[in-house]
Every structure is written in C-alpha cells, then in structure tokens.
Structure 1
Amino acid sequence: MATTAASNPSLAQRLRGMSGEVVKFAVVGLSGVVVNFAVFWICLNGFHLASLRSNIAATLIAITTNYLGYRYWLYRDRDAASRKREITLFLLFSGAGMLIETGVLGFSVYVLGLDSHFEQLAAKVAGLAVATVFRFVSYRTWVFTALPEPTVGADSQPAAEPQPATPAEAGSEPEAALVTQAELLLAAQEIRYAKAE
C-alpha cells in the first residue's frame, strides 16, 4: 500500500485530531470520577468498609456508568457489530485499570502506612491518574475500534481502497485474511487522521 503525505499525518495533526476525543473522554471520565469518589466516600465513612473493598465497589459502579458514556456518546460511531467482544474487552481493560488503582491505594495504605481518610483519597487520586492513561489507550485501541469507511478526501479524490493480499502474497488463506484485516484497520486510521485535518 503506497503512502502519501496526506495519508501519513504529522504528530501535530494526529494530536489535533485526537483533541476532541480526549475532551469527550475526559468528560465521561470525570463523571465516572465523581461517581467513583462519591461511592468510595460513602462506603468508607457510611458503611465503614475497608479502603480496598470501598475502592473495588466504587470502581465497579464507575466502570458501569463509564461504559454507557463511552458506548453511547464518545464512541457511538465505532464498530458495535460485536457487542459481546466489546463488553468483554471493556471489562478486561477496566479490571486491569482497577487493579492498577487498587494497587496504588493498597501500597500507600499497607506499605507506606498512609491510612487517614484524606491520605487514602490522595492515593486514590494517584492510582486513578495512572489507571486513566492506561484505560484511554486500551479503550481507543482495542475496545471501541473504528470502522473502515470509504470517503472522499478534501481534494475530491476517493480514498484508496486497500487491496486484499492474494494467498500467494500472504502465504496461506488464514494469513491472507489477517493481512486484509490489518490493511483495513490501517486504512481506517488514515481516514480518521485525514478527517482531522
């Protein structure tokens, strides 16, 4: 597949194209943070649960609210053909993010001895920051995948259709299907970056 300057955007163009997505991700994420901290505080002070149990309960509820925001607002135009796969991956990466967040909280409470409620909140903020970066990268890369779509570019020339590899080029039928799928995903990324210009 030949690449041109238009299909290979600079880092600045890629970041500009992602800025709207980052803002929407932050809005959904902040609503999840509010839910997360509210439930954490209620579990910690109202129900007198241990900090790690409070964190797990709060994070699970926030994961649910965040999925609804991501699926039906931020990534509503992404491929939803395989909802079971999407939900499975979302729960997998959300669970990994929860482990990151809970690990930072557990380290601060049980290793560093920072066990006042405000120290626990500070540790939760630090863990949430690290987990948020992980979640953003994993959600946009693997969970809410973009659909390849043929579009007409700004110069009124149709976007180049990726040509599927022949079995002779790829080596065998399964490899040919894998190569074709990879080319379609790359074409979708190029289209998304071209739209951002």
Structure 2
Amino acid sequence: MDFVKRLYERFESLVHELAKFGSIGAIAFVIDTGLYNVFLLGLEWGPLTSKVLATTISATFAYAGNRYWTFRHREQSGLGREYFLFFLLNGIALLFGLLMIGFAKYTLHLHDGLSLNIANFVGVGLGTLFRYWSYKKWVFLEATEPIPVELPESGIKQDR
C-alpha cells in the first residue's frame, strides 16, 4: 500500500487535473451530443452543419470551465491569446468529428441517427485526446511563478 500512496502523491496534481478536465468534458459532451441530436433529428439539419453548431456551443462552455476551474493554476497568458488558440485547436479537433460523420454518411452511406451518433462518438473520443494534449501544450501554460493560494498581506491591520 505504501507504493500506491507514493505513486498517488507523485501524480496527485495530474490525477486532479484529469478529473477536472474529464468533468468539464463530460458536461461539454452532453451539451454537444444533445444539441447535435436536436439539430440533426429534431430540426433535420445536415449532420455536418449540426456538428459544427453543437461543437461551437459546447466549446464555449468548455473554454470557461477549463480556464476557470481545470487549468486555473496555470499561467494566464491573456484572454485573447487563450481564446484564439482554444478555438483554433477545437477547430482542429472538430475535424476528427466531421471526418468520422462524413465517412459514415458519404462513404458508408449510413444515414440513420444511430450510425451518425456512433460516428460522432468516435470523433469526439479522438478529438478529446487531441484537445487535452494541445490545451496543456499551447493554451493553458505552466505557471512560471507559483500562483498564491491566498491574497498577499496588505500591511494594514484590521479590527476584528
């Protein structure tokens, strides 16, 4: 058991970061999949248009969750820079989904909702792996200085 404890202590921050990333990702997945099906099956829009719109909305949620919760301990390099890179990388990850859905519909000629959802799930899985790696590498950078847990003392004594 001592080995497991040491192993956990060594990777504790990574485990917590992955848990947070997974939580935000799970909620974004529900938003993405739910909206994809509303657009595809409810409004009867095309599968690629439905995917682009659903991903844009879920990625906006994911940016806020990842910036202000998952990666809040990392350096903040500017909202404009992070936001641009985040959506650029999400656009690349979206290509995985579009390729899977396009392959299912236009190459395999599978037009039913179940087949298109399976293709969507595969694309989301591949895109998630890419997103986690790319966010850590380019968007939410390692802090160059430790980020304080508490606010610094102001030097002014307060009466209690």
Name the TM-score class by shorter chain.
0.7 to 0.9
> Aligned pair 1:71/2:67, yes or no?
yes
CA contact (8 A) 2:21 2:70 kept: yes
**1:3-152 superposed matches below 5 A:** 15-149=11-145
Q: Which runs of 5 or more structure 1 residues have no equivalent in the other structure? A: 1-10, 152-197
In the TM superposition, residue 14 of structure 1 has moved relative to its aligned partner by: 6.3
3-state DSSP of counterpart to 1:80? coil
Report the 3-state secondary structure (helix = DSSP H, G, I; strand = E; otherwise coil) of the residue aligned with 1:84. helix
13 and 49 in structure 1: CA distance in 2 versus 1, 3 angstrom threshold = same
TM-score (norm 2): 0.82
| 1:12 CA drift (Å) | 8.3
Query: Displacement, 1:94?
Result: 0.6
SS at structure 2 position matched to 1:79:
coil
Cα deviation, residue 65, structure 1:
0.6
Q: Tell me if structure 1 keeps the 8 A contact 2:75–2:144.
A: no
State the Cα distance separating 1:77 from its structure 2 match. Answer: 2.1
Aligned counterparts of 1:139 and 1:150: Cα–Cα separation in 2 = 20
What is the total number of aligned residue pairs between the two structures? 141
Q: Aligned pair in 2 of structure 1 residues 142, 14: CA closer, same or farther (>3 Å)? A: farther
Give the letter aligned to residue 88 of structure 1: F
Return structure 1 stretches of 4+ with deviation > 6 angstroms.
11-14
Using the TM superposition, give the Cα deviation of residue 13 of structure 1 relative to its aligned residue in structure 2, in angstroms.
7.2
Give percent identity, aligned residues only: 33
Q: 1:86 to 1:150 in 2, by over 3 A?
A: closer
**Cα–Cα, structure 1 residues 150 and 51, in superposed 2: closer, same or farther, change >3 Å?**
closer
RMSD: 1.9
Corresponding position of 1:189: none
